[in-house]
Structure 1
């Protein structure tokens, strides 16, 4: 039987390469243009998960689409086009893997909040979506409790869900970085 740390470790080790690639792709946004690219990638990625997360009945995922749209609007520029493909996670195990990636992103948001503050952004201007991710410090612990409660989870499907989620993030951020800048 697998405990939360066991499943967490399996998911972490199985997606470490994708996680490292995504961190490198996001990079250190040091100006508003690079931060806006991050916002566009984040919006597209989270939009690609919308239908799948709506079908999850055991956890309320936060897509932050309204907050991301407002952040983007405040920083100017054109509307964001839709992601190239939707992400699907059909089984509870795949959904759990996908949620592991989404909920884990809130941990990274703590660091990103500091970066946005250095750019003059805040929870009320330009960085709402990050503020939403860090507002509940107990959310990650509750998610780990959910992981721990899983008794007979199909590990391969959980890993596939997490890898699919990371692949969607990588595809959307790569696409954004290959496009011409959308704002000055």
Structure 2
């Protein structure tokens, strides 16, 4: 498989789960829907950031994924939400192909964040209140390009391993949506 094909091969192999997640999240037309979204995203990203903190990064990788847990914690606090991470025991990265597959999902979410940022703004959420995480995700789109270069440059890339990891991350996100709902208002910023 040629390097330039990797992104699209991952997209094709994860399309069904990506579409399920987009449908499950839906559009947030009101503040209650936005609060559910922040709760879901907090559960998901706190868990994923915890997993990524334990990764032993390949020595030749100078790039790291965009971290958003701290800004989500601040947004959740603004909205009076308590967010706790979900379990991630089935999301493990044994090699760099799997790690790249997982990061494909996380960094790819920055592309959709631009649309979500405008929807959040229509609800009164700003870069300083309630939508900090969207500002962080959309601040520097060169991170996506850096990820794509990393994806293209890795030797011994296994598309099936990468797709399996990416689909596991989408599955985790779907579980976080399904266990959603609005939690109690006594949010603790140190939830992860």
1:1-184 correspondence to structure 2 within 5 Å: 1-4=1-4, 6-54=5-53, 55-57=55-57, 58=61, 59-77=63-81, 79-86=82-89, 87-176=91-180, 179=181, 182=184
| Residues in 2 aligned to 1:130 and 1:73: alpha-carbon distance in whole angstroms | 15
Paired residues, number? 179
Which ranges in structure 2 are unaligned for 5 or more consecutive residues?
Answer: 186-192
Change in CA separation of 1:9 and 1:120 when aligned onto 2, cut-off 3 Å: same
Query: What CA RMSD, in Å, does the superposition of the two structures yield over aligned residues?
Result: 1.6
User: TM-score under structure 2 normalisation?
Assistant: 0.87
Choose 89-98 or 44-53, whichever is displaced more. Answer: 44-53
| Residues in 2 aligned to 1:61 and 1:49: alpha-carbon distance in whole angstroms | 11
| Residues in 2 aligned to 1:134 and 1:56: alpha-carbon distance in whole angstroms | 26
TM-superposed CA distance for 1:153, in Å, is 0.6
| Residues in 2 aligned to 1:8 and 1:75: alpha-carbon distance in whole angstroms | 36
| Residues in 2 aligned to 1:109 and 1:162: alpha-carbon distance in whole angstroms | 18
- 2:65 and 2:103 in contact (8 A); partners too: yes
User: TM-score under structure 1 normalisation?
Assistant: 0.90
| Residues in 2 aligned to 1:128 and 1:147: alpha-carbon distance in whole angstroms | 28
TM-superposed CA distance for 1:53, in Å, is 1.4
SS at match of 2:85: coil
- 1:61 and 1:99 in contact (8 A); partners too: yes
TM-superposed CA distance for 1:51, in Å, is 3.5
TM-superposed CA distance for 1:119, in Å, is 0.3
| Residues in 2 aligned to 1:43 and 1:173: alpha-carbon distance in whole angstroms | 10
